[in-house]
Structure 1
Amino acid sequence: MQQLFSRCLVFMMLLGLLFPGLASAQQQLLRPALPSALAASSLLLDISAAGERLVSVGERGHIVFQDPQQDWQQAEAPVIAHLTGVDFANDQLGFAVGHEGIILRTRDQGSHWELVHHELTAAPVRAEAKLPELELALEQAQEADDLVDIEYLEEQLDLLYFALEAEEVSPLLDILMFSPSQGLAVGGYNLALMTEDAGESWTLVSDRIPNWEGRHLNAITQDPQGRLYIAGEGGVVFLSEDQGESWEDISVDYDGSLFGVIATEEQLFAFGLRGHLFISDSAGASWEEVPTPTEQTLNAGLILGERLLLVGQNGLYLYGEPHQLQALQLPQRQSLVSVIAQDQQIIAVGRAGVHRLMIPQDADSL
C-alpha cells in the first residue's frame, strides 16, 4: 500500500473512475462542499500561492487557505468533487480542477469559487456539434473508396457517439496558467482543455498532443524560458515552445508513470513511480536516470537554490544535489502529494492535510 496516494492511484481509486455504477453518485457532485473544522487536516492534493496567501485543494471539494500568521480557513466551494490541482495566474485570479473535468475559478484570492467548466456536460455538447461534419466526411470517403480515411473517421465517430451517451468522464489532474487569460488543464486519457479568456470558455486541445495511446497526463509545468512540459503515464513527457499550440514528444525510456516535471534554466527533472528520477541537460532531447535512496513513489518537487527537493509516499522527502539526495521522512509517515516554498518555510500537503518540512541547516536560501 506504499503507493496508495500516488497520483496514479488517486486517479484510479479516489476518483473512482474504474468502478462501475458510480454515474449516479457523480451526478451529485455539483453541490456545495460541506463546512468542516478538519478540512485542513483532510486529504489535500495540491497547493499554490496567491500572493502571500497559500491555497490548497483536496478531497470532497475542500479548499483551504492561509494568510501570513493566520490559521487555515476553509473557502466556499460549489462542488463536493475531489479537487486535484490548483494554480493562480496572479494574486487574485486562480483555478482549481478535479473529478468529472470540473474547473473552478476564484477572483478573490481563493476565498470564494465558481464553477466555470464541467466536462460531463460539455463533452456531449461538443460531440453533437461535431457529428454532422464527421458524418459528411465519412460519406465522402466512402464514395471515394478511401479505406484509410474510412477507418479513421469511423473511429472518430465511435468516440463521438460514446461521448453523447457517456455517464462518466476523465478527471482533470493538474492546471497551469501561463498568464491571466491563458492556461491549460490536463488529465486522464489525454484530456487537455485550454482557456484564452481567463476561464470564460475552455477548448478541447487533446489532438495537439502526440499522445497516440491516450495515456494519462499527470502534471504540467513551465520552465524559466517559458517552455511547457507535461508528464504522464508510461514515461511520457511532452514539450511545447509555443504556449501549447503544438507539442513534441520527448518521453523518457521508462514504462512507469511520471508524476511531475520541474526545470531550471539548464536542467529538466522528471520523477515518478518507485523513486525513479531522470535528468535532462538538453531540454528533453536525452535523459539520464539518476539513482535515488528510495523506492517510494515521488509525487512533486521544488528547486531550492542549487538543491532539489522531492516529496512522496510514506512521508518521504528527498533533499540535496540531484546525484546526492538525502532521504528524510515525516515521523507519522503521511504521504505527500504537493509542496511549495513560502516565507522561508517549506509546506507540503497530502494525507492528513498540511505539513511543514524540515530540511538540513545548510540549505540554500529559499
Structure 2
Amino acid sequence: MRTPVGIAVAVLMALGAVQAFAPRATPPLAATRLAVDRMQLNTLVASKAGLVTGGELGSLLYSTDQGKDWSRAKVSNDRQALINQISFAPDGLNGMAVGHEGWILRTSDGGLTWKEVAFEEKNGEPLMSVARLPSGAWIAVGAFGKAVRSDDEGEHWAPLALPASVEDKHLNRIVSSADGQRWLITGERGLVLHSGDAGQSWSVIDPFYNGSLYNALALPNGGWLAYGMRGNIFYTEGDQGPWSRSDMPVQASFYGHAVTPDGKIILVGQGSVMATSSDGGRHFTLSRAKGRTSLTDLLLLPGGQGWLASDAGLQAFSPATAPTPTPTPAPQAGATPSSGVAQ
C-alpha cells in the first residue's frame, strides 16, 4: 500500500513542479504616465520630431502628439543635473541642451536621443543658454562669466572670447534677430553684450539698468526688448539704444516669452503672471495662469494654442481661455529663475 501512495505523491509533486515552471503569458503592465504637470521644467521648444522639454534631475522629454503624451528621451549619461535650455538648429533635428555642472548634450534626431558632449563633475558652473550661430558654430553661456564655443557640432568646446568687463557676471540668455545677424547676451548687474556680425565678435552696451536681465527678444522694427527682475522691462527702437523703460504694472520677474502671429508679445514669469503688449513692448497688461508658480517658458502652436512650462510642470495655454486681465500685483520679491543660480 505504501508503494502506490508514495508513487502517487511523487507524481503529484512532479506535476506541481512542471506547472510552477511552465511558461505563462505575462499580463501587460499599465502604461506609465509621466507627471509633466508636477515637474520642474525650464525650457520648452519645438523640433522636427515634436515638442521637447527639459528640467529637473536631467529630465529630457518629448511629445510627438502636440503635448498630449510625453516620453523620456534616451540619454547617454544620467547625471541628474538640472537642464536650463534646449535649442535647435534651423533643420529642427540637430540641437543642444545645457544645464548645471557644465553639462552639454547633443541630439541629431530632434530630441528623441541625446549624447553627452561635456560635463564637469568637479566645480562645474551652470550653463544657462545655448544657441547656434549662422556660421554653424554653437555657443553656450552661464554662471560667473562662463562662455564656450564649438565649431564641430558640439564634439569639442573651447572658451568663447568676450569683453574683459564681463568678469564673473552671470550670463543668462543668448538671443538673435530673425536674420541671425544681430545678437544679444543678457546677464546680471545690467550686463548686455551685442554682436552685429552674426556672433563672431561681442561688445558691451552701455548699462541702462543695474539689475539682472533674464531674457530678451528682437523686435520687428530692428530694436530689442530686454526683461528681468521685479518687472523691469526695457525696449529700444534701434539696434543698440537708446533704451526706455516699459510700462509694467507689476514687480514680478519674467523669464520667458512668445510672440503671437498678430505681433503681440507675451511675457511669463513669477507668480503665474503673464504680461501682454500690443505696441511693441511699450505697455503691458496682466493676466494670470493657474496656480502660483514661476512660469519659465511659453510655446505657441499653430492655431494659437500652446503650453506653459513652470517650476510646477506643464499646463495648456489658450488665448481664448486666458484669464481676464487683472491689476493685482504679484509678490514683489526679486526671485531668481528656477535654475537656482543667484542673480
| TM-score, normalised relative to structure 2 | 0.77
Alignment of 1:219 with 2:173, yes or no, is yes
Q: What is the alpha-carbon distance in structure 1 between the residues aligned to residue 309 and residue 41 of structure 2? A: 6
1:238-257 to structure 2, matched below 5 A, reads 238-257=193-212
Q: Which amino acid aligns with 2:195?
A: S
Percent identity for Structure 1 against Structure 2 = 28
The Cα RMSD (Å) is 2.1
Q: Which has the higher contact order (CA 8 A, sep 6+)?
A: 1
Q: Is the 8 A contact 1:317 1:327 kept in 2?
A: yes
Instruction: Provide the aligned length of Structure 1 versus Structure 2.
Output: 281
State yes or no: 1:297 paired with 2:297: no
1:237 has 2:197 as partner: no
Give, in whole Å, the separation in 2 of the partners of 1:343 and 1:252: 37
* Compared CA separation, residues 212 and 232, structure 1 to 2 (3 A): closer
In the alignment, is residue 318 of structure 1 matched against residue 270 of structure 2?
no
* CA distance in 1 between partners of 2:288 and 2:49 (Å): 27
CA distance in structure 1 between the partners assigned to 2:44 and 2:272 by the alignment: 17
Find the counterpart in structure 2 of residue 118 from structure 1: 119
Q: AA paired with 1:43?
A: Q
C-alpha spacing 1:87/1:351, structure 2 compared with 1 (3 Å): same
Question: 5+ unaligned residues in a row in structure 1: which ranges?
Answer: 1-34, 121-166
Q: Could you tell me how far apart the structure 2 residues matched to 1:323 and 1:59 are? A: 34
Unaligned runs of 5+ in 2: 1-31, 323-343
Which residue does the alignment assign to 1:65? 62
**Where does 1:45-60 land on structure 2 (aligned, <5 Å)?**
45-51=42-48, 53-60=50-57
Q: Could you tell me how far apart the structure 2 residues matched to 1:44 and 1:251 are?
A: 33
- Could you tell me which amino acid in structure 2 is paired with residue 313 of structure 1? Q
Q: Distance in 1 between matches of 2:43 and 2:150?
A: 21
Asked if 1:354 is matched to 2:314, the reply is: yes
1:199 is matched with 154
1:188 maps onto 2:168 in alignment? no
Distance 1:87 1:73 in 2: 19
Q: Is the 8 A contact 2:73 2:112 kept in 1?
A: yes
**Residues 188 and 36 of structure 1: CA distance in aligned 2, closer, same or farther (over 3 Å):** farther
Counterparts of 2:131 and 2:248 in 1: how far apart (Å)? Answer: 28
Rounded to whole Å, the distance in 1 between the matches of 2:249 and 2:34 is: 37
Asked whether the equivalents of residues 45 and 85 of structure 1 are also in contact (C-alpha less than 8 Å), the reply is yes
Evaluate the alpha carbon distance shift between residue 196 and residue 38 of structure 1 in structure 2; reply closer, same or farther with a 3 A threshold.
same
Answer 1 or 2: which has greater helix percent. 1
Contact 1:225 1:265 in 2 (8 A): no
Contact in 1 for aligned 2:37/2:315 (Cα 8 Å): no
Residue 70 of structure 2 aligns with an amino acid whose one-letter code is W
Query: Would you say the 8 A contact 2:227–2:234 is kept in 1?
Result: yes
Aligned to 2:291: 332
Q: TM-score, normalised by structure 1?
A: 0.72
Contact 2:49/2:93 (8 A) holds in 1: no
Distance 1:325 1:187 in 2: 29
Matches within 5 A, 1:54-203: 54-69=51-66, 70-77=68-75, 78=77, 79-89=79-89, 90-120=91-121, 167-179=122-134, 181-203=136-158
Going from structure 1 to structure 2, the CA distance change for 1:189 and 1:239 (only over 3 Å counts) comes to same
Give, in angstroms, the shift of residue 36 of structure 1.
7.9
How many Å apart are 1:40 and its aligned residue? Answer: 5.6
Asked whether the 8 Å contact 1:180–1:198 carries over to 2, the reply is no
Contact residue 257 and residue 273 of structure 1 kept, 8 A: yes
